[in-house]
Amino acid sequence: MKLVTSEQIKMLDKLSIEKIGIPGVVLMENAGKSVADFISERWSSPSYVYIFCGTGNNGGDGLVAARHLYNRGYKVKVFLAGPKEKIKGDAAVNLNIALNMGINIKQVLSLQDLPLSEEKNSHKEKIILIDALLGTGARGAPKGIIEEIVNLINKWKGVKIAVDLPTGVNADTGEVAGKAVKADYTITFAYPKRGIYLYPGIDYVGEVKVIDIGIPLDILERENLTIKTSLLVGRDFSPEIFYRRPSSHKGEFGHLLVLAGSSGLTGAATLSCMAALKIGAGLITLGIPESLNPILEEKLTEVMTLPLPETKKGVLSIKSFDEIKNFSNKCSALVIGPGLSRDPEVQELVEELLKSLRLPLVLDADGINCLAGKIDLISRYQGPVILTPHPGELARLTGTSTAEIQKDRIKAAVELAQTTGKIAVLKGAGTVIADSKGTSWINTTGNPGMASGGSGDVLTGIIGGLLAQRKDPLTCAKLGVYLHGLAADLAIKKQDGIPLLTARDIVENLVLAIRSLNDEHC
């Protein structure tokens, strides 16, 4: 499913009105009625409905909802955040209809005009609060009376429903600059907005419903328009992607070389290799500092090890370069990074490997940290690269701050992909995958239980294992991210929803995730 920016949805509205001939008031009617329908389907007995409307088109949607709910017997009260005279166009049409019907509409010009949250105690019936204050074009923190209304809505214990987008959430980036409505449900129209699926906006939207309001489905093709951001869902992948012939042998599924681990960080190497095994790589060799070989041979029965020259600190030495380069000729893909350390000699080794090798590469963790300020080395790498930074690693690589990365995650991922000419996977809540053409995807799987050490190492191994099987690099990045989150979701389900996971839990549920992915196509 495509995700749109505020400018894109504004353009789609305009095209529907001016080129297709759908009156704007019809689109508003469809939007507002869909909110009323949503409420009627879930809370059939008449309830108190407080609708907080702004003076723009979002408020107009709320006024339409008020009319339909009023007709269905709900006890409706509208609080208008501003003077009636400010409302223009289609919203004004619906305001006049609501007034003529006798709906209780109160102008909110000061704090004294707001209902008290204590009023809930006088109602035995459920109270439903509808946020129709600001539309997708709003920017920055809510101010003045709007901020006060947001505070009031959040204090109330009733059901909270946001119209199109919770007030205070940036439609494009998910940024919450100040206060924002924390909705139980968000009813968004035509296409979901990007900020709904991005941190921190994703924490404010609750359950999301995407409603058709009459914008023609083929308008993008008809007008030759391109929307470059999509949701990543299971049906994006072919059910044949893991098919194996009965006569298959391990040589058909690639040989992955993993350069990972250092003294005290053998777990990262272990998890990456186990994940690569579970995702189907035929052979895996782990290149490690030689003193760690006995430990890793014990921990990884099905993985071969390549003991390499090390420094006195127990990290890979630059002296291992020739051996790695020669061994890589046997391999189909390479992982560099998990638990390598940021030792100066490791940095030198990583730089030399990027200058010399051509294997499809997953660059993660310390593999990225070792290249801070040297992003051009990634651009010049002769083979495909999938970069998998978390926000802090990307900030170090690009010389910016984690806060700046998180402010617009899609922009950060796309810029990394376009700057390097490679594939970027920006990890975190709503992982973003981007390619060098500026196309991006937001992942829909995963949960807070993944916020534990080693989860990123598992993702690296999954992507590396797929890449070793000679699959398309972009598919490897997207599929790896999706299955990583799906395995975590299945693990949580087994625990009755308790969001506490270890990285090993994710590895152990990968096969179930693959089966679940295939079931989506049945």
* Confidence label for 76 from pLDDT (cuts 50, 70 and 90): very high
pLDDT digits (tens, 9 = 90+) for 108-139: 988 888 876 555 545 555 789 999 999 898 88
Mean pLDDT of 40-68: 93
* Confidence label for 521 from pLDDT (cuts 50, 70 and 90): low
Mean pLDDT of the chain: 94
* Segments of the chain assigned to CATH 3.40.1190.20: 246-519
Buried b (16+ CB within 10 A) or exposed e, 488-521: bbbbbeeeeeeeebbbbbbbbbbbebbebbbeee
Evaluate if residue 373 carries a pLDDT over 70. yes
Instruction: Record the tokens describing residue 56, joined without a space.
Output: 């723009």
| DSSP reduced 3-state for 11 | helix
Contacts of 82 (CB under 8 A, 6+ apart): 54, 55, 107, 108, 109, 145
| DSSP reduced 3-state for 398 | helix
Instruction: Record the tokens describing residue 512, joined without a space.
Output: 């179930």
Output the pLDDT for position 121: 45
Mean pLDDT of 401-428: 96
Evaluate if residue 519 carries a pLDDT over 70. yes
CA–CA distance from 191 to each of 61, 233, 431, 433, 486 (Å)?
16, 15, 20, 20, 24
Mean pLDDT of 282-300: 96
The dihedral sign for the CA sequence 465, 467, 469, 474: positive
- 200 upstream amide cis, omega within 30 of 0: yes
Percent of the chain at pLDDT > 70 equals 98
Evaluate if residue 83 carries a pLDDT over 70. yes
Output the pLDDT for position 116: 67
Mean pLDDT of 357-381: 97
Percent of the chain at pLDDT > 90 equals 85
Residues 514, 483: contact at Cβ < 8 Å?
A: yes
Q: How far apart are CA 307 and CA 313, in angstroms?
A: 15
The mean-pLDDT minimum among 90-94, 143-147, 218-222, 225-229 falls in 218-222
Mean pLDDT of 238-266: 90
Mean pLDDT of 461-488: 97
Maximum average pLDDT range among 137-141, 152-156, 163-167, 498-502: 163-167
Element (DSSP H or E) covering residue 176 = none
Mean pLDDT of 478-497: 95
Output the pLDDT for position 123: 53
Evaluate if residue 249 carries a pLDDT over 90. no
The mean-pLDDT minimum among 69-78, 211-220, 470-479 falls in 211-220
Output the pLDDT for position 12: 93
Q: How far apart are CA 467 and CA 186, in angstroms?
A: 38
Mean pLDDT of 298-303: 94
Mean pLDDT of 192-211: 94
pLDDT digits (tens, 9 = 90+) for 415-452: 999 999 999 999 998 999 999 999 999 999 999 999 99
Tell me which amino acid residue 167 is.
Answer: T
Q: How far apart are CA 127 and CA 50, in angstroms?
A: 7
Output the pLDDT for position 389: 98
CATH fold for domain 246-519:
UDP-N-acetylmuramoyl-L-alanine:D-glutamate ligase (3.40.1190)
Output the pLDDT for position 135: 87
Output the pLDDT for position 119: 54
The superfamily (CATH) of domain 2-227 is YjeF N-terminal domain (3.40.50.10260)
Output the pLDDT for position 1: 86
Q: How far apart are CA 415 and CA 351, in angstroms?
A: 22
* Segments of the chain assigned to CATH 3.40.50.10260: 2-227
Residues 312, 303: contact at Cβ < 8 Å?
A: no
Element (DSSP H or E) covering residue 347 = helix 344-356
Query: By C-alpha distance, which of 123, 107, 108, 28 is closest to 68?
Result: 28
Evaluate if residue 376 carries a pLDDT over 90. yes
Query: By C-alpha distance, which of 328, 322, 329 is closest to 308?
Result: 322
Q: How far apart are CA 314 and CA 316, in angstroms?
A: 7
